[in-house]
Amino acid sequence: MSQQSHYRICPLCEACCGLEIRSEGGRVVSIRGAENDGFSKGFICPKGVSLKDLHEDPDRLRQPLIKRDGRFVPASWDEAFEEIERRLLPILREQGPDAVATCIGNPAAHKISLLAYFPKLARALGTRNIFSASTLDQMPKQLSAGLMYGHWLSIAVPDLPRTDLLIILGANPQVSNGSLWTVPDYKGKARAMRERGGRIIVIDPRKTETAHAADEHLPIRPSGDIFLLLGMVHTLFDEGLVQLKHLAAHVKGLDTLREAVQAYSPERMAAGCGIPAETQRRLARELAATERASLYARIGSCTQRFGTLNSWLVDVINTLTGHLDAIGGAMFPKAAAFAANTQGRPGVGKGISTGRRSSRISQAPEVFGELPISCLAEEIETPGPGQVRALIAIASNPVLSAPNGPRIARALDSLDFMLSLDIYLNETSRHADVILPGLSPLEDLHYDVAFPQLSWRNHARYSGPVFSKPAGQPKEWQTLLRLTALLEGKDWRGDVRIMDDESIASDVQRSMGEHADAVLAALAPLRGPERLIDLALRTGPYGDQFGRKPEGLNLAKVKAAAAGIDLGELQPRIPELLRTPSGQIELAPQQLLDDLLAVDAALAQPAPTMSLIGRRDMRSGNSWMHNLPVLAKGPMRCTLLVHPEDAARLGLHDGGRACVANAQGELKVEVSLSQDMMPGVVSLPHGWGHDLPGVELALAKQRPGVNLNALLDDKARDPLSGNSVLSGVAVSVRAL
Ligand SMILES: Nc1nc2c(c(=O)[nH]1)N[C@H]1C(S)=C(S)[C@@H](COP(=O)(O)OP(=O)(O)OC[C@H]3O[C@@H](n4cnc5c(=O)[nH]c(N)nc54)[C@H](O)[C@@H]3O)O[C@H]1N2
Ligand SMILES: Nc1nc2c(c(=O)[nH]1)N[C@H]1C(S)=C(S)[C@@H](COP(=O)(O)OP(=O)(O)OC[C@H]3O[C@@H](n4cnc5c(=O)[nH]c(N)nc54)[C@H](O)[C@@H]3O)O[C@H]1N2
Ligand code: SF4
Ligand SMILES: [Mo]
């Protein structure tokens, strides 16, 4: 038998590396970085290699499961759908759409099959109760971007290859491989940047892997970012450093902003962030004085009470120093497909609206159609009209991923019906009545919808399935279309190809009007996601416009390119990118200014004696990769990092055990001493705690770790975005 080589884009993190997979006789022989991929240039991390283990994992579900008398039994697809129809439809019919919630998790962002077909399912449900991992993650950035530029995916990324100064706040791209910044091989790019004289400064309570490889590390008090950022903006005005340069004609609200930050001098802010006033001023001056520079912030800055204000002020600083939309600064990618900021009239738009409705119990405002995932448990538990009685969970593991996981687990148990679309029987799906599995990534095609909109360089890349899917197992988009039909009361047994045709026809009629028939005819040979990709590419900014620009892109051309098509370095995009009603960058949205009032109160609060932050590990991906042998080997990674000074005071020693506790609960964990921690701060990774009853993850259960989110309070949120507070939580630590 001879070996075959396949090109496959890795779906396991935002870096979207192109991989070369060699197979023989239906088995994976090797996985390497694809050297011919101009975007990722051969980079791969251990998770990419683990795609083989994922594909072969005996615990990965390949057949639907139905819970009968408390035990899961294998079922056919028809039996599973019949069970869903029998149990879910009456709830929907009798109690109304809000009684059925849906919750979609992180892997969906990496699967066009889920991402593109979920909105249809949500529309068919018509529920207000839509939750996702976004409110555990980047919702603050989406909201601030929406308010400032008019669309929530208009997010600027550092132009690393051309920058001379990069300041990183609350991100660890050397381990996470970048987030809201698709930058395969951050490490290599950062090294190259420093070798040509560039500098990197990392601001983080822990001296991270990224900080070790940087020029300077500044420890910050957890949750202190708002004070630092205000101190920096204040400095820019105070010292006359504001230089809008090319943006001068495109900003609105400069005077309002100046006034709003007047009270926040670095001297006053120092106590809040633990960074001396002079250092805050120096950071602002360095950004202002460096021709090509940018400030980049990520999840550490989002998962805080002031996540939205932080996200906003980062962009404010880039704007006031003339680095937004400038070469070598913070730039907006231009994706070949699916980017709303390339559609419609350039330079002006409807902007965004939020708070069109609120959650029933906490009255948390809706943001981009979603409610905070930290409201899920209370919406299930609290009786009354609109109470959630059923849940459709899609690639989502809130029992481990969301604050107060144990409460979520209890709430899920009290549901009348739960459906999970998941590839494992894990901490969340064990609560389901029916589990419908997805395909192995290697059995699926791949085109990234979101990440080209956040990429270090413009590109269009597609990869086909490496292996054919098992006979009889549907693709996930087919499962979603059938479920949508079921929810609409239609015949879910019907031909899925007709459902697909009808679905795209209605999309195209809405967007293309009189041209709809001609467009549908041109797309006709394709089906499913491929048809959506072709449509998006052809109508996109580089597209062939169905023949009007024959040299332009379509799916056939992208497929024909061995490892994708390079579309060049990032280019300035303002004002074309803007979709605000004013046609300007909104520097001072009222909603954000109003929240500044709460900053003063927060400044007056004493810092906790000990606070808990999270961390990520190269060989771990959120909550669901601990069952893969290549990642699970080596030392235990779910340990509590403690600074030696704290350890000495608390009587802790390396390899010993500690109890971490607060009002939410307590966890018993192994201690690792680390000089990298800021004294008074301990760190524990999230996504662990696999020892719950009913979990079928043989390897992960051998070293289950503990669930950090058991200590986090589901009521702690950024009120603007609904994002959970996941960092800087007060705890006590004692030796065991
Ligand atoms: N304390 C703390 N908590 C955090 C974070 C933190 O930093 N600290 N980070 C947060 C962040 S950024 C995120 S994104 C969330 C993630 O939160 P979630 O999205 O809830 O969690 P994941 O761990 O990604 O779990 C994904 C689920 O999808 C399943 N799955 C994997 N691949 C597929 C597939 O192809 N198809 C289907 N149908 N299912 C699949 C997995 O088995 C798993 O059940 O966690 C958040 N939680
Ligand atoms: N290997 C691996 N890669 C991943 C993931 C994974 O689980 N494992 N998850 C993926 C996902 S879903 C996401 S969203 C991305 C996230 O990507 P990143 O944002 O790069 O994620 P983290 O490594 O969690 O980095 C957050 C940093 O914030 C710091 N921090 C904590 N609290 C504060 C604070 O109050 N202020 C400041 N300034 N910093 C603080 C933490 O110490 C940490 O170093 O990573 C993705 N990539
Ligand atoms: S960095 Fe991310 S995309 Fe690249 S191989 Fe690793 S997990 Fe996959
Ligand atoms: Mo995330």
The predicted-structure confidence for 170-198, as pLDDT tens digits, reads as follows 999 999 999 999 999 999 999 999 999 99
Rounded CA separation 292/245 (Å) = 13
**Ramachandran assignment for 245, one of left (phi > 0), alpha (psi -120 to 50 degrees), beta (any other):** left
Torsion sign across C-alpha atoms 735, 712, 391, 64: negative
Mutation to probe ligand 2, out of 135, 176, 305, 373 (largest number of atoms < 8 A from CB): 176
Fold of 65-137+363-436: Rossmann fold (3.40.50)
Residue 64 to residues 75, 112, 557, Cα–Cα distance (Å): 5, 21, 37
| Closest atom, ligand 1, to C-alpha of 614 | 8
44 CA distance to ligand 2 centroid (A)? 19
CATH number of the 158-345+581-599 domain: 3.40.228.10
Intra-chain end-to-end CA distance of the chain, in Å: 57
The tens digit of pLDDT for each residue in 636-673 reads 999 999 999 999 999 999 999 999 999 999 999 999 99
Cα pseudo-dihedral 470, 698, 623, 682, rounded to 10: -160
Alpha carbon 142 to chain centroid distance? 10
Range in 263-277, 511-525, 574-588 the model is least confident about: 511-525
- Average pLDDT (42-67) is 98
pLDDT at 216 over 80: yes
Percent of the chain past pLDDT 90, that is, above it, reads 99
Average pLDDT over residues 300-314: 98
310-338: average pLDDT: 98
Q: With a 6 A CB cut-off, is 334 part of the ligand 2 pocket?
A: no
312-336 average pLDDT score: 98
Residues 607-619 as b/e (b if ≥16 CB within 10 A, e otherwise) read bbebbbbbbbbeb
CATH fold of the domain at 608-735: Barwin-like endoglucanases (2.40.40)
- Measured by CA distance, the residue closest to atom 4 of ligand 3 is 17
* Confidence at residue 529, expressed as pLDDT on a 0 to 100 scale: 98
Is residue 681 lining ligand 2, measured as CB closer than 6 Å?
no
**DSSP annotation string for 311-356:** HHHHHHHHHHTT-BTSTTSEE----SSS-GGGSSSTT--------S
299 pocket-lining for ligand 2 (C-beta < 6 Å): yes
* Ligand nearest the Cα atom of residue 430: 1
For 275-286, the pLDDT digits (tens) are 999 999 999 999
Collect all residues with Cβ–Cβ distance below 8 Å to 453 and sequence separation of at least 6.
153, 155, 333, 335, 338, 339, 341
Residue (of 425, 450, 446) closest to 435 by Cα position: 425
pLDDT of residue 161: 97
Residue 1 has pLDDT above 80, yes or no: no
- Just give the CATH number of 1-56: 2.20.25.90
Query: Strand, coil or helix: what is 442?
Result: helix
Going edge to edge, which strands form the sheet with 293-297? 216-218, 199-203, 165-169, 293-297
Tell me the CA–centroid distance for residue 11 and ligand 4, in Å: 13
What is the domain partition of the chain in residue ranges?
1-56, 65-137+363-436, 158-345+581-599, 608-735
Q: Give the pLDDT band of residue 68 (cuts 50, 70, 90).
A: very high
